[in-house]
Amino acid sequence: MDFFNYNAGRLFAEQVEAERIASEVGTPAYVYSAATLRDHLHKVQKAYESLETTVCFSVKACGNVGILKLMAAEGSGFDIVSGGELYRVLEAGADPSKVVYAGVGKTDREIVEALDAGIGYFNIESEEELANLIQLARPHVAAGRSRPRAALRVNPDVDYETHAFLRTGKKETKFGVDIERAVAVFDAYADNPSVDLCALHVHLGTGGKTIDPYVEALEKVLVLIDRLRQKGHRIGALDLGGGYGADYETETVPSAAEYAAGIVPLIRGRDLKLILEPGKSICANAGILLTRVLYTKQGGSKRFVIVDAAMNDLIRPSLYDAFHFIWPAQVEPRFAPAVRSKGLHIEGSEVVDLVGPVCEGADFLAKDRPIPHVERGDLVAVFTAGAYGFTMSSNYNGRCRAAEVLVDGDTFRVVRRRESYEDLVALER
């Protein structure tokens, strides 16, 4: 699953002890495992190797330039949703032709920047956006540049069992167009000389735990592709998006190979290039958040553990009621967890609320969670924090954002320094 393990009761990131990192870098700190990132990416690449496949890592999940460089070196493309993310992947040395650009509200500036960069595909979310792309691409093509390629995002209206905020494949969503509308869009725009509308895009959401919704959506989209081809439209690629589950609890989601077992047979022999946009399934388990205990206290019947990480560092529990396994970085060997689960309760552990310093009742990392006894100064690890952790962090309450650390074997380096108070006001001077 990942390369964070306990040895004699002490937590290690690959071959580096977590306590060593925290002592040198401070807390809170995000710690990423290069070996885990490589392993998870390679498993996806191998699972789909029988097809012509481009794996485009989702930058919104974990956008640190140092990590993007690592992913690019391993052959990954990138899924972006803003001009800032395009800037990041170019800074990382990515191949622009392996970049796909989604998002419902691309500005003119962002579109022109992507045209100038020569990205692989624009994922089109509405007819008005497509008309605007055509207008902006016209002088670009007239100047001798190749026609940009576009993939129309369609909503297959598949029910995807996850948090309501994470579902994006139903009709009632701001993303994409209804699958029934897609034929009319291709009839109107497929032969345009400024934009090559030659692909379809579908994304159900994120956090899925079975392959069934993907298979159902794919079957619907393949029927649409057959219909479009019968009308003479060229469909050269299918972007199946991302959203594949990550192991927030041990072995609760399909593996890359299991997803592929349901998807590959349906596409094989159809003359379709496949694009995938995995994010959290690659990087979630590749990161932990290290935090120290500031205080403990009793409030009525409830015991609180107050740590120096807060909702501004990791908002997922407050925003999505998301589960992250949390455990001290040093425990008696008998407390070393064999699995990561909501229900893990080792005899002698205590049920606590782990909360942060932010002045909000919603500032918590876990509620009613059994963990071994901790005291002031103890180091605690929040697991499966590599996706939508740092990228969704903020400066709320005037808090400096955490450092980011990349471990590779027996070495580690800071890939984003901890912010300072000066950083907080630098743009306001």
Active site residues: 359
Question: SS in 3 state form for 51-77?
Answer: CCEEEEEECCCCCCHHHHHHHHHCCCE
Residue 404: both structure tokens together: 């980011």
Point out the annotated binding site for pyridoxal 5'-phosphate. 243, 388
CA atoms of 76 and 84, how far apart (whole Å): 19
Point out the annotated binding site for substrate. 316, 320, 360, 388
Handedness of CA 343, 346, 348, 352 (dihedral sign): negative
CA distances from 191 to 132, 194, 229 (A): 16, 9, 13
Backbone angles phi, psi at 277, to 5 degrees: -125, 60
Helix (H, G, I), strand (E, B) or coil at 304: strand
Point out the annotated binding site. 243, 316, 320, 360, 388
Amino acid at 185: V
Handedness of CA 125, 126, 128, 133 (dihedral sign): positive
In contact, 428 and 395? CB cutoff 8 Å:
no
